[in-house]
């Protein structure tokens, strides 16, 4: 056997998983073949065996499925995938029904298929380390835990108890698993695992799974019990309201849970396999695996980070501006142990910015997520200041003041001399080109854009913008700083709007353009949400402020004029200007925009949108609305790649999902193209361009980059 060792001595079979040339154990094809061989061998040697110990030679116990192999599957492979999965589960079933005790020694993490392997054991012993994680994250990748995970978790915890771990992919530590009864013993270190395993086997000469015992009942009741049945009546509707039918995996998981709970165990596991095979016929699983596994790992492993630059660990960072963004950045830093100087024009304003962290910390203490001592330490890391001299010794200073070039230049020149030797300076601008802002710096090679998203405490993405003169060391240190905050950095080259703001603008302005064409506002908003976008484009414009959009348009016109060019505003931009300058609707913060916000009541679309903009004779359909919103962003993403604003597909996909809310089921703005098929995408773009304008036109450079960067797994 290639991926595991089976050593039998004194009636004890020790199975050590050790996949060659891999840092982790995975369910690769060789491993699946080995498991079948192993099950046959153990069955043949049953009379001589007293117990079985499952162990790992890696730092983790088992990592799960071989996702590269899954990515290579096509719809035609689904029947073969079903048969292979059933073959593996028969091996699992053979091992757990030998009648002798099986113990899993969990020295490290066990996720997905790794946790399902652990569930083969009758007794699980784990190292008591809070960094170790167990669980079933398959739904995050568009899959379901079909290697017995659903059937076993339901039988161990009940339908309601298993729900968070299957439907929400909730992970748990060894101690949490022990409290749930999923982990039976905890040890202080891996060296104690085998000793405890042998002791348990000696005390339990026979063993079986709970569901194989006579008279077994699912905890909490079967689907037919009144309490469970009542919850199941509304569950599908609640699920559809959340997924809008775009994510098939949660629906399949719920069905497998309920159907499997009504039949015997072996039938339940076959139901799992059938639902997984059906998921593999569609594109969503491949889209999500590509982005939420491969692309996400590319970001975390630093593929966008300049190589050969020593790693940087931030210790003291200054922030200019204690408004919403500055206060949020201060929280992000202090909660990760970074000393923070929060400067504003007065200590009172800086203290007000610090109070944001105090409120967030208090909520976490209330929820038991933070101790009072940790709360106190966190707040002590934030020093409110009004004097630039208080920034002295900061390795990094980030300005987060209003989007006005002159103001940014002034605070840069005031604060930059306070940097520690070798320090660097960053702007949190969302639109202004970094190269232009760097003109205020005495060291433009040490000037960079670090664009956070609001609210900072919730948004994972940070966009790092390299100016024309920014050096590799500064980019690498900015990348390390973002990782130190526990966030996801993407690296882009300088351009107006960078990647996220530029592409986000196409989404909201396409929505505004459709309103100007006479399409009902409610139709636009509802079609966007049904497509999987978190908020409709008109609602987003209100939240980010229509007046801010007009400010950006005015600034762009001025910049173009300074360059001797004329800026041609889009139909959507012209409509937004009309809303602000003629109709006095500046957005939510100004009292109302596309929506009204009555005090104490739910927001609703401004009634005047109908007489002002709707045209009864205009024909429209939801599919066109959705395609315009999704295709427009994907086209702009391809243009950003062709223009070298973006340099990788993984930055594009992660940036579009975590920064601008592109639907997760698509896998991101570029994966959306590949999920549609490149030829089909180009054909649909041509149709949309002919009907709705040049925003959908793909030039030769964009077409070429799409085909060049198509992923291969």
347: which residues sit within 8 A by CB, 6+ positions away?
384, 385, 386
> Are the beta carbons of 403 and 431 closer than 8 angstroms?
yes
- The structure tokens 């050790």 sit at 18
> Are the beta carbons of 496 and 522 closer than 8 angstroms?
no
Helix (H, G, I), strand (E, B) or coil at 165: helix
414 catalytically annotated: no
**R_g over Cα of the chain:** 28
Residue 320's closest CA among 409, 432, 201?
A: 409
Annotated catalytic residue within 84, 96, 138, 577 = 138
93: which residues sit within 8 A by CB, 6+ positions away?
266, 269
> Are the beta carbons of 698 and 685 closer than 8 angstroms?
yes
184: which residues sit within 8 A by CB, 6+ positions away?
123, 124, 125, 178, 200
Distances in Å between the alpha carbon of 429 and those of 230, 443, 490, 498?
Answer: 51, 18, 15, 10
> Are the beta carbons of 138 and 150 closer than 8 angstroms?
no
214: which residues sit within 8 A by CB, 6+ positions away?
none
User: What phi, psi does 574 have (nearest 5°)?
Assistant: -65, -40
Q: Exposed/middle/buried for 287, CB within 10 Å: 0-12, 13-18, 19+? A: buried
Q: Cα dihedral angle (493, 496, 498, 500), rounded to 10 degrees?
A: -170
Annotated catalytic residue within 7, 84, 96, 116 = 116
How many Å separate Cα 667 from the centre of its chain? 10
430: which residues sit within 8 A by CB, 6+ positions away?
403, 451, 498, 500, 501
Helix (H, G, I), strand (E, B) or coil at 151: helix
What does the alpha-carbon distance between residue 473 and residue 116 come to, in Å, rounded to a whole number? 43
Structure tokens at 706: 């799409």
As a 3-state breakdown, the chain gives helix, strand, coil percent values, each rounded to 5, of 55, 15, 35
> Are the beta carbons of 268 and 151 closer than 8 angstroms?
yes
H or E segment at 123?
strand 123-127
What does the alpha-carbon distance between residue 359 and residue 106 come to, in Å, rounded to a whole number? 39
138 catalytically annotated: yes
Cis amide linkage into residue 69, ω under 30° from 0: no
> Are the beta carbons of 498 and 492 closer than 8 angstroms?
yes
Q: Active-site residues: which are they?
A: 116, 138
């Amino acid at each position: 056997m290639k991926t595991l060792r089976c050593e039998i001595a004194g009636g004890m079979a020790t199975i050590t998983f050790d996949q060659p040339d891999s840092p982790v154990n995975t369910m690769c094809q060789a491993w699946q073949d080995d498991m079948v061989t192993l099950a046959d061998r153990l069955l043949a040697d049953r009379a001589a065996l007293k117990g079985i110990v499952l162990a790992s030679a890696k730092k983790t116990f088992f990592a799960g499925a071989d996702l590269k192999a899954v990515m290579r599957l096509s719809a035609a492979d689904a029947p073969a995938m079903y048969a292979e999965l059933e073959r593996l589960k028969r091996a699992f079933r053979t091992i757990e029904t030998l009648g002798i005790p099986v113990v899993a020694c969990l020295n490290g993490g066990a996720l997905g298929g790794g946790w399902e392997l652990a569930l083969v054991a009758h007794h699980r012993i784990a190292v008591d380390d809070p960094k170790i994680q167990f669980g079933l994250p398959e739904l995050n990748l568009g899959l379901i835990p079909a290697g017995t995970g659903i059937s076993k978790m339901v039988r161990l915890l009940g339908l309601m108890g298993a729900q968070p771990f299957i439907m929400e992919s909730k992970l748990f530590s060894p101690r949490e698993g022990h409290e749930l009864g999923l982990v039976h013993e905890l040890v202080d270190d891996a060296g104690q695992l085998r000793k405890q395993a042998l002791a348990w086997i000696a005390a339990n000469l026979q063993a079986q799974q709970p569901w194989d015992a006579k008279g077994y009942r699912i905890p909490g009741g079967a689907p037919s019990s009144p309490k469970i049945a009542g919850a199941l009546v509304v569950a599908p509707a609640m699920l559809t309201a959340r997924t809008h039918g775009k994510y098939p995996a949660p629906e399949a998981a719920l069905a497998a849970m309920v159907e499997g709970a009504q039949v015997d165990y072996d039938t339940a596991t076959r139901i799992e396999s059938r639902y997984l095979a059906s998921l593999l016929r569609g594109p969503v699983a491949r889209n999500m695996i590509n982005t939420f596994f491969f692309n996400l790992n590319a970001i975390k492993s630093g593929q966008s980070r300049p190589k050969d630059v020593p790693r940087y660990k931030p210790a003291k960072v200054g922030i200019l501006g204690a408004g919403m963004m500055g206060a949020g950045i201060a929280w992000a830093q202090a909660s990760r142990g970074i000393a923070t100087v929060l400067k504003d024009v007065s200590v009172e304003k800086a203290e007000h910015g610090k109070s944001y962290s105090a409120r967030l910390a208090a909520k976490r203490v209330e929820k038991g997520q933070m101790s009072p001592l940790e709360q106190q330490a966190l707040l002590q890391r934030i020093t409110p200041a009004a004097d630039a001299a208080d920034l002295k010794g900061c390795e990094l200073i980030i300005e987060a003041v209003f989007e006005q070039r002159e103001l940014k230049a002034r605070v840069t020149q005031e604060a930059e001399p306070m940097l520690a030797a070798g320090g660097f300076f960053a702007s949190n601008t969302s639109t202004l080109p970094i190269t232009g802002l760097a003109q205020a710096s005495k060291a433009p090679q040490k000037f960079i854009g670090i664009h956070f998203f609001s609210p900072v405490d919730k948004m994972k993405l940070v966009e790092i913008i390299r100016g024309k003169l920014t050096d590799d060391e500064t980019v690498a240190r900015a990348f390390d700083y973002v990782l130190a905050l526990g966030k996801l950095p993407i690296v882009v080259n300088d351009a107006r709007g960078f990647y996220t703001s530029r592409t986000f603008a196409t989404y909201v302005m396409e929505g505004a353009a459709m309103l100007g064409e006479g399409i009902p506002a409610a139709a636009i908003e509802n079609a966007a949400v049904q497509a999987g976008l978190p908020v409709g484009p008109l609602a987003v414009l209100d939240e980010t402020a229509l007046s801010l959009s007009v400010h950006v348009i005015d600034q762009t016109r001025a910049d173009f004029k300074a360059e001797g060019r004329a800026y041609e505003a889009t139909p959507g931009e012209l409509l937004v200007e009309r809303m602000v300058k003629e109709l006095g609707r500046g957005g939510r913060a100004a009292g109302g925009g596309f929506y009204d916000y009555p005090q104490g009541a739910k927001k609703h679309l401004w009634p005047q949108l109908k007489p002002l903009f709707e045209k009864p004779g205009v024909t429209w359909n939801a599919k066109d609305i959705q395609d315009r919103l999704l295709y427009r962003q994907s086209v702009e993403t391809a243009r950003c790649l062709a223009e070298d604003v973006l340099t990788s597909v993984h930055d594009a996909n992660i940036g579009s999902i975590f920064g601008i809310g592109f639907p997760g089921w698509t896998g991101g703005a570029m994966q959306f193209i590949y999920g549609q098929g490149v030829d089909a995408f180009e054909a649909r773009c041509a149709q949309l361009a002919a009907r709705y304008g040049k925003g959908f036109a793909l030039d030769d450079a964009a077409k070429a980059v799409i085909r060049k960067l198509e992923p291969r797994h």
